[in-house]
Amino acid sequence: MKVLDLGSLNIDYVYQVDRFVRPGETRSALSRRVGCGGKGLNQSVALARAGVETWHGGAIGPDGAFLAEELRRSGVDTRLLRTDPDQSTGHAVIQVDGAGQNCILIYPGTNAALTLEEGERALDLLSPEDVVLFQNETNLVGELMEAAARRGLRIAFNAAPMDGKVAAYPLEKVTWLFVNETEGALLSGEAEPRRAARLLRERYPRTQVVMTLGAEGSLWLSEAGEQFQPACKVEAVDTTGAGDTFTGFFLRGVLLGSPLPPLRLATVASAL
């Protein structure tokens, strides 16, 4: 069993700030670092470090070679990663404030350059027990979900970053749908998180709904019922990628088992 992550890869420019820039304002950052990111890459790294055989498919430009290196160092198979010589890699401009909160602006770059043909070719390499993982940072998500479902593959989908396209994806064919409370509210039309998660589960009865609730914890709604896991109390330094780590370790828990229940495993990993 393996997970194919047809996901985004970003160069993250992370600016430490005392507070976020407001409209019309110019401010100096306290520091800057450049690193690996993208919800897709982060989730592949989490999965591989959690012990799941992970393949990452997607595209980078020549400036993104170090992202592929990082994936390989973490144990991710990059045979399906394409380098487009004519485009730049996706990137993210991330402000992190003193409370560890962030705001993120992404430029898609090569993350918007996937083709249906390469996606389908990648899916053809999988076996029925494998899982395909998507986030909403690449093009053709809905089309490739359909292609994965036609092949009888299980689909995991992290609906981040949420936009107007998500509701039109074939979410009824998704096995695990990951949303945070804001995404859950937008998708369900219900602001109260628990009711929103239940509405999504009613709308997509074959889909397990995993909802993160920030500092409160997380919910998992499946045929086995409803589970709640309180968050770990930690001092937040930088929450960037915490949700991606949660997704990767949750999938490890449900796919391979673990001494901790999946929600608890994901919660501990994301807190770290």
> With respect to ligand RIB, which residue has the nearer C-beta, 118 or 137?
137
* In the complex, least distance from residue 237 CB atom to ligand RIB, rounded to whole angstroms: 15
Span interacting with ligand RIB, options 74-82, 180-188, 238-246, 253-261, rule CB under 6 A: 238-246
> With respect to ligand RIB, which residue has the nearer C-beta, 193 or 241?
241
**Single residue of 38, 57, 248, 262 touching ligand RIB by CB under 6 A:** 38
> With respect to ligand RIB, which residue has the nearer C-beta, 208 or 212?
212
Residue with the two structure tokens 């807190």: 271
**Does residue number 106 form part of the binding site for ligand RIB (CB under 6 A)?**
yes
Positive or negative torsion for Cα 259, 262, 267, 270? positive
Name the closest residue to ligand RIB (Cβ). 37
130 has catalytic annotation:
no
Burial (CB count within 10 angstroms: exposed 0-12, middle 13-18, buried 19+), residue 38: buried
How many CB atoms sit inside 10 A of residue 97's CB? 17
* In the complex, least distance from residue 107 CB atom to ligand RIB, rounded to whole angstroms: 10
Q: Which candidate, 69, 93, 74, 103, places its Cα nearest to that of 182? A: 103
> With respect to ligand RIB, which residue has the nearer C-beta, 39 or 154?
39
Annotate each residue in 128-147 with x if it binds ligand RIB (CB under 6 A) or - if it does not, as one string: ---------x----------
Positive or negative torsion for Cα 208, 210, 211, 217? positive
User: What does the alpha-carbon distance between residue 62 and residue 42 come to, in Å, rounded to a whole number?
Assistant: 19
Task: Evaluate whether 42 touches 245 at the Cβ level (below 8 Å).
Answer: yes
Marked catalytic residue, from 5, 12, 130, 244: 244
User: What does the alpha-carbon distance between residue 67 and residue 70 come to, in Å, rounded to a whole number?
Assistant: 5
Distance of CA 77 to the CA centre of its chain: 18
- Per the document, the length of the chain is 272
**Single residue of 61, 64, 193, 241 touching ligand RIB by CB under 6 A:** 241
**Single residue of 42, 136, 218, 229 touching ligand RIB by CB under 6 A:** 42
Residues with catalytic roles: 244
Q: Provide the binding-site residues for ligand RIB, judged by CB under 6 A.
A: 8, 10, 12, 37-39, 42, 92, 104, 106, 137, 240-241, 243-244
